[in-house]
Amino acid sequence: MATTAELEAMRHALSLARRGPRGVNPQVGAVLLSPAGDVLAEGWHRGAGTAHAEVDALSKLAEGEARGATAIVTLEPCNHIGRTGPCAVALLDAGVERVVYAIADPNVPAAGGAERLRAAGVEVEGGVLADDARTLLDGWLAVQRLRRPHVTVKWAQSLDGRAAAADGTSRWITGPAAREDVHRRRAQADAIVVGTGTLLADDPALTARRPDGSLYDAQPIPVVLGARAIPDDAAVRQHPKSVLHRSGENLGGESPNAPSLLEELRELGVQRVFVEGGPTIASAFLRADLVDEVLVYVAPTLLGSGTEGRDRPALRYLGVDTIASQRRLDVASVTPLGPDLLVVAHPAAEGVV
């Protein structure tokens, strides 16, 4: 069982981990305690290719100073040679006698550090403040589980399922409270995806903004899908991050390139993708079964169809040709946002979105 000093050190290690960047590698913090429970050193991981948290902490001590110490780490010490050596070996070489970690490493090539330490006679305890660590590493853990970034698809619609009026105008279906919620969620994402149709129709900045118009500190990478060019004066050109423009080829057909896009984003360190549409892009991700969360902002308004059947539905073809193949969702919550409703849903238990 973890001591009071170890619990306090783990909380501090979690705060240290948050200083590191969110990306390909996990955010990890470490604290080294003396046998008396005093802090000897601390460290955190600063990104791919830099020292891991344990090694960062050890580097601040003189040779032999860590002998008999306890290492408090937010993630199980790694057991593989990547750009850096195994942290489990570094701890052994330093003479650490006890290791306390929050959660096991789900990355198979890196896992096994706890077992290696125990085999060498080090006392090891896992699961300390595990829930807090999972919350911190939620996005990274999702990537390890899914082998791709976590995908949220969002759209706004009228009560009768329309995303825009017959002429294509869609500003604004929902009210200020709903739009504020969208921007807050954008700030939690690493990339935001739209099609050129939406870009050309609405000219979105694709930034995450506070109600006063100022930018959140965290901004998603703007990703634009479609063969049409992005105008030089488009609002997205002023985004603080460079636009990633991909053709979007086949997104409307039977073989969407959504998987290859997600693989590219994963290699860039993206953990959470926020797909804002429009209907063609959202439908492509849904059709490919690449959606983990659906956000639907429903406004109490009716748009109907235009003359000559000019409809602007919230979604397009999903591969549902018969009621037996409908894509069911499990609703997680329904939240009022001013006059609007936000419905949050996830893939149904049978694995169909």
The verdict on 107 and 199 lying in the same domain is no
The verdict on 135 and 156 lying in the same domain is no
Residue 226 within any structural domain of the chain: yes
Q: For the chain, how many structural domains are there in total?
A: 2
The verdict on 167 and 72 lying in the same domain is no
pTM, entire model:
0.84
Give the sign of the dihedral formed by CA 48, CA 49, CA 53, CA 56.
Answer: negative
Examine the fold and report which residue of 79, 108, 142 is the final residue of a domain before the chain moves on.
Answer: 142
d(CA 299, CA 91): 56
The verdict on 290 and 160 lying in the same domain is yes
Examine the fold and report which residue of 142, 170, 185 is the final residue of a domain before the chain moves on.
Answer: 142
Mean residue pLDDT of the chain comes to: 89
Examine the fold and report which residue of 142, 176, 211 is the final residue of a domain before the chain moves on.
Answer: 142
The verdict on 136 and 158 lying in the same domain is no
d(CA 119, CA 23): 32
Give the DSSP H or E segment for 186: helix 176-188
Q: For the segment 139-151, what is each residue's pLDDT rounded down to a tens digit?
A: 999 999 999 999 9
Instruction: Using the predicted structure, report yes or no on whether residue 254 has a pLDDT greater than 50.
Output: no
Residue 352 within any structural domain of the chain: no
The verdict on 182 and 272 lying in the same domain is yes
DSSP reduced 3-state for 345: strand
d(CA 85, CA 146): 26
Identify the CA nearest to 273 among candidates 104, 119, 146: 146
Domain limits for position 169: 149-347
The verdict on 121 and 192 lying in the same domain is no
Q: Is the peptide bond before 278 cis (omega within 30 degrees of 0)?
A: yes
Q: List active site positions.
A: 54
Residue 128 within any structural domain of the chain: yes
Strand partners, 340: 337
State the DSSP code for 337.
E
Q: For the segment 45-82, what is each residue's pLDDT rounded down to a tens digit?
A: 998 889 999 999 999 999 999 999 999 999 999 987 66
| Lowest mean pLDDT across 219-223, 260-264, 316-320 | 316-320
Give the DSSP H or E segment for 144: helix 138-146
DSSP reduced 3-state for 79: coil
The verdict on 117 and 261 lying in the same domain is no
Give the confidence band of 169 by pLDDT, cuts at 50, 70, 90: low
Residue 353 within any structural domain of the chain: no
Cα pseudo-dihedral 65, 66, 68, 74, rounded to 10: 160
Q: Tokens 């999903």 label which residue?
A: 318
Q: For the segment 285-309, what is each residue's pLDDT rounded down to a tens digit?
A: 998 889 999 999 999 998 887 666 5
Q: For residues 312 and 202, is the Cβ–Cβ distance under 8 A? A: no
Beta-carbon count within 10 A of 332 CB: 11
Instruction: Using the predicted structure, report yes or no on whether residue 138 has a pLDDT greater than 80.
Output: yes
The verdict on 193 and 272 lying in the same domain is yes
State the DSSP code for 162.
B
Here the CATH number for the domain that contains residue 281 is: 3.40.430.10
Q: For the segment 80-131, what is each residue's pLDDT rounded down to a tens digit?
A: 766 667 899 999 999 999 999 999 999 877 678 999 999 999 999 999 999 9
